[in-house]
Chains A and B, each alone.
Chain A
């Protein structure tokens, strides 16, 4: 479909003034990209490892528990992916609400944006405290 004038393109990061709503908007993209690549790669590898017999799974487990300088880096990345999941899920709900035309009032929009961050951090902490508690 030919248009007389070019369609508008999304402006880059530098154009916007930083605020909770803008931060959550760009986090939605960033966490989406993280989940699309790191998240799905881990999910796929995890399923392959489970299907690969005891040896295959122990390789996966030792990769997850790999430490350097006393810090379990891969586990930390898993925590980051979990946070990305909850942040993307909560701001996804926010976007669905906004798609319906609601939640655009400045105060409500800002509060909702802050709540997605508070919620994602809380849920990530809950999940990992539980997982690490059970594992011990």
Chain B
């Protein structure tokens, strides 16, 4: 009953004209950044972040969330028509989506990815409600040792699932945790690593770092981008045929389940499930040789999975206060700036936010379906905007966005530094995602670590004698050690070779 009562409250909130407007703006911008290569949802969310400071926390989160799942819809368009993924979760769609477009079937490819996204998104919201509520209730009983263990587990998972080398991901996690210690000590307020700078005394801001690592570095990488050629194809109908439907319904349903499950895992997000879904569909298919040559299953499965994954990722954020990927880290940062504490208490203290976000996803998914199916022509036109015109615009938005959070030009400098760091890291195939998640979780992890030690009067056994924390730590240790096993390395290498690891 709790769920239905909550959902009714959520819908009441969402149907406020203001909130509806913000939800709409979010999904439109999401689709836009999904379509435009060179700016991903993280960049867009951090750019728009300052604009959310003046509105209610519920409206802010609903808009930012809309950008996230909206980008998953938009990302498929460029994959199918230009063979360039609009964002990382649509990399796989290029394989068969572009081939379908070359065979003159761009319409059904775009259609099935929008419809699949809608089904995957909606099924995941239902699952989200039924998983997040009991999880939050269970987490209410957690003390500092359990939270510390939970964060250890999230970080191990993030490193374990990161594309590229696990060792590099662990390095990035440690660097992120260190960056999180800059500024005042979370317990005593003692200033650390601030080198006399008033800006650093408040800690390194999430927004300048996120914009630098994901916005600026993306622009720097894209300086080399050559002009894109949009496939000149007449799109007669976007509606898939009966045969297409028959072939797609299985992948869509499996993609929803795979997406939701991997979305739950820290480090899973929306990218990993697309790879898994593609592999599963290829294995199950009677004609695996068609994959890579325009099989509709190869579009329907992964496109469903990325939407289901982006929705599933809200579970750990809403229920536990742990962001499983950088996008949710920004959402968490937005909540914090508004003075809202995410975590198990969110559902009780701020039900309007918790249920508002969930209800807004139902509404947002319907808006996206409407936006994407008839308006596809408009999005295609946008693809023709040259990057050299877009680039200064993206950079200007980053500059203003970064400045506006605290009206502090020093943060622009931090953004530039992290832009350069992000560029080098991407070039050397280090994942920036673990760094940013560790940075935002760092202070919480430290506070829980120290409080646990104070509770136990200095004994580390407290982490092992409490059953929940012992189990969580055992799983993290298991992941950490198996990451070195050759079987795991081989699989990871094969996946990297098959699909590439670039964003």
Question: Do A and B make up one complex?
Answer: no
